[in-house]
Amino acid sequence: MSSRMSLTSWIGYGTERYTARVARRLRALNVTAWLSSIFVLGFAIYDATDLKLRTLAAVNVTAALFLASIPVWHRFGELVAPLAFVIGAYTGSFVVCAMIGTESGMPMQYLAVAAVMIIVLGPQRRVLIAVIGTAAITLIIALRVTVPPDTGLLSSEAMFANFVACMVGTCTILFGVILYAVNEVARAEAIADREFERAEALLGNILPAPIVKRLKDKGEPIIADAYDEASILFADLTGSTALAGAISAAALVEFLNTLFSTFDKLVDQHGLEKIKTTGDGYMVVSGVPLRRPDHAQALASLSLAMRSATATIFDPLGRTVRIRIGLACGPVMAGVIGTRKFSYDVWGDAVNVAARMEATGVPDAIHVSREMRARLGQSFSLEERGAVEVKGKGTMQTWFLLGPRA
């Protein structure tokens, strides 16, 4: 692991100050420069064995040292190192080719350098890439016109060996850099995919799936829908104020997370939509955003499951959890509100009635309105509570939901 880290640091030398996108391209330049330096240094060592090639060896040593220094140039700007590499590689190739001849294979390096620059500079610098490519073609033609195929500095065998080494080395470096760049892109895409999936999951936790799809596919600036009928549930934990004063904040949050996570699973199992939690309150809607004719029955079943689930959960003081649940149904409106920290919410008189049913209910009971009782029909057993004074509504006749009718 440490050797891999050191290799990564070595390849990324000088690119730390740049953004991930720019650094990725500059790392490809570092790989190219250092491989090219080793490649040219090999020629210098070979040339140094022959006294008459000492000048050529000195030129190659100078070129190798310059190429090895390319990563240092990153400190002066994003384009400094790439342009220094191009100028150095073009100049060195021209000098060496002028000394030994065009049959050495050196002109091919111009095309390789221009190809690497496409990776390093990126598609947004098309003009600069075109200039570098045009310069490569111009220099190849200039060498062809002004330099003989073989100047006689190398023997025919050495010239052929130089050509082969140049072809193999240049192609190896070019293919290696392209492979490195492709791997870097693949790695970046994998990271982007993971981040996209994470963002999608977070968005799915904030908004209902159909609403997310509408935002993504249609880009609707305002999402607001009217529903002729839907059912709303409010649940509230009794004794939460006293509990909060008796335990730590961390213990309270952990307890509420356990309780509401249990409720979340039940909501998913019943195919309904959780709207929000407010402190120790919990709100669910049925028939929104997906309309369903059995919205009341589905929400009633959920409320019974929630009440049963609380019997198996204990608060941090070891007491059985007790909740009040209120149900109501009727016309509602729903939509996305806000541009920052936005949320999906539901409005309407039925929402207010459901909240009042919860507030005027009793622990471990499911308090329902007249409209909800009528909508449930003969599917569930209910017990009449009688007249209840409801804030903002006056006196209302209400019922307690007991369970499904046998």
Q: Are residues 42 and 165 in the same domain?
A: yes
Placement of tokens 């009528």 in the chain = 374
Domain that holds residue 139: 7-200
pLDDT digits (tens, 9 = 90+) for 201-254: 777 667 777 777 777 776 666 778 899 999 999 999 887 777 777 788 888 888
Overall average pLDDT of the 276-284 stretch: 87
What's the chain look like in SS3? CHHHHHHHHHHCCCCCCCCHHHHHHHHHHHHHHHHHHHHHHHHHHHHCCCHHHHHHHHHHHHHHHHHHCHHHHHHHCCCHHHHHHHHHHHHHHHHHHHHHCHHHCCCHHHHHHHHHHHHHHCHHHHHHHHHHHHHHHHHHHHHHHHCCCCCCCCCHHHHHHHHHHHHHHHHHHHHHHHHHHHHHHHHHHHHHHHHHHHHHHHHHHHCCHHHHHHHHHCCCCCCEEEEEEEEEEEEEECCHHHHHHHCCHHHHHHHHHHHHHHHHHHHHHCCCEEEEEECCEEEEEECCCCCCCCHHHHHHHHHHHHHHHHCCCECCCCCECCEEEEEEEEEEEEEEECCCCCEEEEECHHHHHHHHHHHCCCCCCEEECHHHHHHHCCCEEEEEEEEEEECCCEEEEEEEEEEECC
Residue 397 lies in a domain: yes
- The yes-or-no verdict on residue 63 having pLDDT over 90 is yes
Q: Are residues 218 and 324 in the same domain?
A: yes
Structural domain ending residue among the three candidates 179, 200, 221 = 200
- Residue 122 has a pLDDT of 83
Q: Are residues 229 and 124 in the same domain?
A: no
Distance CA 17, CA 27 (A): 12
Q: Are residues 276 and 213 in the same domain?
A: yes
Distance CA 93, CA 99 (A): 10
Q: Are residues 193 and 215 in the same domain?
A: no
Residue 26 lies in a domain: yes
Q: Are residues 130 and 195 in the same domain?
A: yes
- The yes-or-no verdict on residue 57 having pLDDT over 50 is yes
Overall average pLDDT of the 119-136 stretch: 90
Residue 196 lies in a domain: yes
Residue among 101, 99, 202, 110 at smallest CA distance from 156:
101
End-to-end alpha-carbon separation of the chain, Å? 65
- Residue 219 has a pLDDT of 64
Q: Which residues pair with 324 in a beta bridge?
A: 236
- The yes-or-no verdict on residue 1 having pLDDT over 50 is no
- Residue 255 has a pLDDT of 85
Overall average pLDDT of the 12-41 stretch: 89
Contacts made by residues 122-127, CB under 8 angstroms, sequence distance 24+: 122/25
Query: What percentage of the chain carries pLDDT values higher than 70?
Result: 96
Residue 173 lies in a domain: yes
- Residue 325 has a pLDDT of 94
Higher pLDDT, 384 or 5: 384
- The yes-or-no verdict on residue 277 having pLDDT over 70 is yes
Distance CA 166, CA 172 (A): 10
Structural domain ending residue among the three candidates 152, 181, 200 = 200
Task: Categorize the per-residue pLDDT at 402 as very low, low, confident or very high, splitting at 50, 70 and 90.
Answer: very high
Q: Are residues 181 and 74 in the same domain?
A: yes
Q: Note whether 70 and 85 are within 8 A (CB).
A: yes
**For residues 124, 126, 127 and 132, what is the CA-based torsion angle, rounded to 10 degrees?**
120
Q: Are residues 215 and 148 in the same domain?
A: no
- The yes-or-no verdict on residue 307 having pLDDT over 80 is yes
Q: Are residues 113 and 234 in the same domain?
A: no
Placement of tokens 């799915």 in the chain = 204
Distance CA 43, CA 385 (A): 98
Q: Note whether 214 and 223 are within 8 A (CB).
A: yes
Per the structure, the count of domains in the chain is 2
Distance CA 202, CA 196 (A): 10
Q: Are residues 158 and 117 in the same domain?
A: yes
Residue 108 lies in a domain: yes
- The yes-or-no verdict on residue 58 having pLDDT over 80 is yes
Residue 213 lies in a domain: yes
Structural domain ending residue among the three candidates 148, 182, 200 = 200
pLDDT digits (tens, 9 = 90+) for 96-125: 999 999 898 888 889 889 988 988 888 888
Q: What is the pTM of this model?
A: 0.58
Q: Are residues 179 and 257 in the same domain?
A: no
Q: Are residues 152 and 280 in the same domain?
A: no
Residue 356 lies in a domain: yes
Placement of tokens 């589905």 in the chain = 298
Residue 2 lies in a domain: no
